[in-house]
Structure 1
Amino acid sequence: MERIPVSVIVMTKNEESNIAKCLAGLTDFAEVFVVDSRSTDNTCAIAESYGAKVVQFDWNGRYPKKKQWCLKELPCTYPILLYVDADEEMSPELAEEIRACLPKFSQGYGGAFVGFDYVFAGKKLAYGHRVFKLVLVHQASSEFLDYDDLDAANMWEVEGHYQPAIKGRTFALKHRMLHDDHDSLYHYFDKHNRYSDWEAQLRSKGLMNDPREANLGLRSMMKKVLDNLPFKPLISFLHSYILKFGFLDGAAGFHYAMARATYYWQIGLKMDELAARKQTKLVRPGVVTARPATKESAT
């Protein structure tokens, strides 16, 4: 059978623990780019051994960031692009569903959402909160928006947790991709600590959930409702652990729900910190500010 006429984009930086399993699931696709950010491990060598086209990306600290740069600058052979993270794994069923859905892109559709199964604390979760990402896109119909986030703490080169803007309709695929990060939980929490810095900054500016982003209808509405509710960490825990039956995943389901709640708790706390900094000029530890001169000290 002919390979699937889609250009796959895998973005990497020091992903030697993940990249082999990722690329092993992409062999049915006609073109695979690994867009690397000067990895110092064996990521690039492994990618080349799988026949991927390795391209280096050097971020200049401005826009475009990495996803948008790939969208506009990579010499892709095919008009349909698939974004895959290095810690994600394609299934044969999803690959064939992608092959079958390609005619939709000539019928007014600009992108497709893919759902994800998560491995957390060593277990593949069957329940709990589910993530959908718009990762299959028509190159000419897609754009990753500039979010005015370059001043966010611990800013990095890849766009944050938001969907691209799409010209045309979107649809959702039935089969899922697997998210299985082979790095440690330290890596997971370190990464989400940076994500929460970014999200707190954007929420403080009122910039989250740009209406130009593509979103699944009901999920988009639920996201807006959740964003405006008080006690968001508690609600997110109950949503994942109780309403989405996360308790059926045992200890891993509990830990995943707690991790999600902790993420939102971090965002709220960091937003409070940002608000306080706007109201009060913070003094760095160990720095003594001069007091205004009084009559006594001036004489």
Structure 2
Amino acid sequence: MPDHPVIPVSVIIVTKGEGASLSPTLAALASFDQIIVVDSGGDADTFAVAQSFGADIVAYTWNGAYPKKRQWCLDHLPLAHDWVFFVDADEIVTPELTRAIADLFSHDGPCADGYFVRGRYVWGGRVLRFGLTNNKLALFNRHAFMFPVVDDLGLPGMGEIEGHYQPVAKKPGARIGVLAPMLTHDAAADPTRWYERHERYAQWEAGMNERGAWPADPVIWRHRLKRVFRALPARGAVAFLYCYVWKCGFLDGGAGFDFARARGWYYRRIAALSRRAFNAQ
């Protein structure tokens, strides 16, 4: 049993037939008051697993227009709370992170309108202690933030869910914090699927770069840094060195090297696709 009151947050898990990986994700969320699994795969296993943990199930079909999946959730789900926490099916919320979130809602409640949640990657079955971490504005007051409409409809690699960008503030002055404890993010349980998925992401990101469609990051310094990084001709090498050397990924041994190499490949692939599109003009 949790050593704190039930957390007054609505957890939203968006899935696409991911019942096989959902059990540990749901098991780690027992402290939260409401859990909703929004599935677009129509997978019976996903529904059965979600129901076994007492989660609500919502079937989703994208109509090819905006809003996409996460904003649709904010617009249409029967949310019991103002605060929402978006968790992916391959993420596990640690006890330390759960306690940190519970502490936010004790006494006078959160002092910010949203919080970045960081994640440690799992690569080759090993939790990486160093190197790159995943950072998402995943815990926020739904009245303060929304997912923006961007000019990506029809782009190769584009899908039903919002891409690699953060929700944006509905009004100026939104306060943003960062939670210190991390979740774990097992995005590469199957390396082949990781590369296939990131090939689609690379096509989408190259198209976003070509259209200049990126929305502003809610944190100014992050927005400026991303603009500089996207313009670098050698961003694949920069991504590898940042992950493996600057962030000490080498301390994770072979798994740290493989992960940094994969990140470098991803950004080299984006650059190659961008050059191909430019030369075709």
1:103-158 deviation per Cα after TM superposition (whole angstroms, max 9, x unaligned):
454x5x32100111110122111111122100001011111011111111132101
Aligned to 1:87: 90
Aligned to 2:278: 275
Query: Which residue identity does 2:124 align to in structure 1?
Result: A
Deviation at 1:266, TM superposition (A): 0.9
User: Which residue, 180, 184, 187 being the options, matches 1:178?
Assistant: 184
CA distance, structure 1, for counterparts of residue 223 and residue 195 of structure 2 = 26
User: Which residue, 5, 24, 49 being the options, matches 2:8?
Assistant: 5
State the identity %.
38
1:30-74 deviation per Cα after TM superposition (whole angstroms, max 9, x unaligned):
000000103335111101100000001110000000000001111
Aligned residue for 1:23, secondary structure, equals helix
User: Which residue, 76, 80, 103 being the options, matches 1:77?
Assistant: 80
Matched, 1:127 2:133: no
Aligned to 1:226: 229
Conserved 8 A contact 1:36-1:55: yes
1:239-282 deviation per Cα after TM superposition (whole angstroms, max 9, x unaligned):
111111111111111111111011111111111222233x2xxx
State how 1:20-39 maps to structure 2 within 5 Å: 20-39=23-42
Judging changes above 3 Å, is the alpha-carbon distance between structure 1 residues 177 and 244 closer, same or farther for their aligned structure 2 residues? same
Aligned residue for 2:255, secondary structure, equals helix
State how 1:99-118 maps to structure 2 within 5 Å: 99-102=102-105, 103-105=108-110, 107=111, 109-118=112-121
Aligned to 2:204: 198
Aligned to 1:266: 269
CA distance, structure 2, for counterparts of residue 27 and residue 182 of structure 1 = 25
CA distance, structure 2, for counterparts of residue 97 and residue 186 of structure 1 = 35
Aligned residue for 1:17, secondary structure, equals helix
CA RMSD after TM alignment? 1.6
CA distance, structure 1, for counterparts of residue 187 and residue 265 of structure 2 = 19
Judging changes above 3 Å, is the alpha-carbon distance between structure 1 residues 223 and 240 closer, same or farther for their aligned structure 2 residues? same
Aligned to 2:65: 62
Where does the alignment leave 5 or more consecutive residues of structure 1 unmatched?
280-299
Aligned residue for 2:84, secondary structure, equals strand
Conserved 8 A contact 2:123-2:189: no
Deviation at 1:225, TM superposition (A): 3.2
Query: Which residue identity does 2:127 align to in structure 1?
Result: K
Matched, 1:151 2:154: yes
Query: Which residue identity does 2:178 align to in structure 1?
Result: A
Higher Rg of the two aligned structures: 1
Matched, 1:241 2:244: yes
CA distance, structure 1, for counterparts of residue 12 and residue 96 of structure 2 = 19
Judging changes above 3 Å, is the alpha-carbon distance between structure 1 residues 259 and 182 closer, same or farther for their aligned structure 2 residues? closer
User: Which residue, 107, 132, 136 being the options, matches 2:139?
Assistant: 136
CA distance, structure 2, for counterparts of residue 80 and residue 268 of structure 1 = 38
Deviation at 1:27, TM superposition (A): 0.5
Where does the alignment leave 5 or more consecutive residues of structure 2 unmatched?
none
CA distance, structure 1, for counterparts of residue 64 and residue 221 of structure 2 = 35
CA distance, structure 1, for counterparts of residue 24 and residue 264 of structure 2 = 29
1:157-204 deviation per Cα after TM superposition (whole angstroms, max 9, x unaligned):
010010000241100001001101474111111111111111110001
Matched, 1:160 2:163: yes
Deviation at 1:96, TM superposition (A): 1.4
Conserved 8 A contact 2:113-2:140: yes
CA distance, structure 1, for counterparts of residue 50 and residue 87 of structure 2 = 14
Q: How many residues align?
A: 273
